[in-house]
Amino acid sequence: MATIYLLRHAESTANKDAILAGRIPGISLSKTGRAQSRLISKNLTKYELGPIYSSPLERCLETIEPFAQSQKKRIRKAPEFIEMDYGQWSGRKLATLRREKLWRRIQQEPSRVRFPSGESFEEMQKRVRKGLDGLSRRHKTSKVLLVSHGDPIKVMIALTLGLDIDQFQKIVVDPGSLTIIDWPSKTLLGTNIPLANLPKKNSARKIQLKKRRVIGGGTNV
């Protein structure tokens, strides 16, 4: 039984600009995200983690590189935990996407949704479940760190809790947060643990709270 530490990447430039990045290449961490990655590196040391796996997208690799370097560990790319393929929605502003008819179904019945020219939520659920099974077979007694994205982590939490996929949108996973699960026993040990909290002005915090229920995770996407 593996203990898997699910880390959502730090703030990216797409998060900052409220864009649904998906798998678009070249989406890096924002200035805030780079500061968060250094704080994440410091806060992760207390967990005594073993192997490191990451989505191959830049924002995940950049988030964990400071920690991997400090621990002299290799980052193993894990494409099964890559971001959702949002197809034609990728790269578009969230403010525009909220006006699409598909938006309400995504929030209420994601099991019935396939993004235009993209992936369905059920396909994503299948690949992350397969990925978790693989990690647990390879690392039966290890503390595995896995860096991924908001929607995949939310689905992994739903799988752990035995929730229907139509309920996964009720889960919040903020950038730079840590969730801990045992797999395949499907035990949730902790969720949305903040590792990257930087000082914020009150006005910025109010704006942040208004954005929590969106595609891609919690505060941002």
Whether residue 220 is predicted with pLDDT greater than 50 in this model: the reply is no
Q: What is the pLDDT of residues 123-164, one digit of tens each?
A: 999 999 999 999 999 999 999 999 999 999 999 999 999 999
The arithmetic mean of pLDDT across residues 161-188, rounded, is 96
Q: What is the pLDDT of residue 199?
A: 73
pLDDT confidence bin for 216, thresholds 50/70/90: low
Return mean pLDDT, the chain: 92
Whether residue 205 is predicted with pLDDT greater than 50 in this model: the reply is no
Q: What is the pLDDT of residues 30-60, one digit of tens each?
A: 999 999 999 999 999 999 999 999 999 999 9
Instruction: For domain 2-210, give the fold.
Output: Rossmann fold (3.40.50)
Whether residue 214 is predicted with pLDDT greater than 80 in this model: the reply is no
Question: Which residue has better confidence, 216 or 18?
Answer: 18
Q: What is the pLDDT of residue 200?
A: 65
Whether residue 67 is predicted with pLDDT greater than 60 in this model: the reply is yes
Whether residue 198 is predicted with pLDDT greater than 90 in this model: the reply is no
pLDDT confidence bin for 207, thresholds 50/70/90: very low
Q: How far apart are CA 22 and CA 85, in angstroms?
A: 6
Q: What is the pLDDT of residue 29?
A: 98
Q: How far apart are CA 59 and CA 10, in angstroms?
A: 7
Q: What is the pLDDT of residues 76-95, one digit of tens each?
A: 999 999 999 999 999 999 99
Q: What is the pLDDT of residue 203?
A: 41
Q: What is the pLDDT of residues 53-64, one digit of tens each?
A: 999 999 999 999
The arithmetic mean of pLDDT across residues 64-72, rounded, is 98
Give the amino acid at 157: I
29's CB contacts (< 8 A; 6+ apart) are 9, 10, 11, 12, 13, 36, 37, 59, 62, 63
* Owner of token pair 């980052």: 75
Domain definitions of the chain by residue range: 2-210
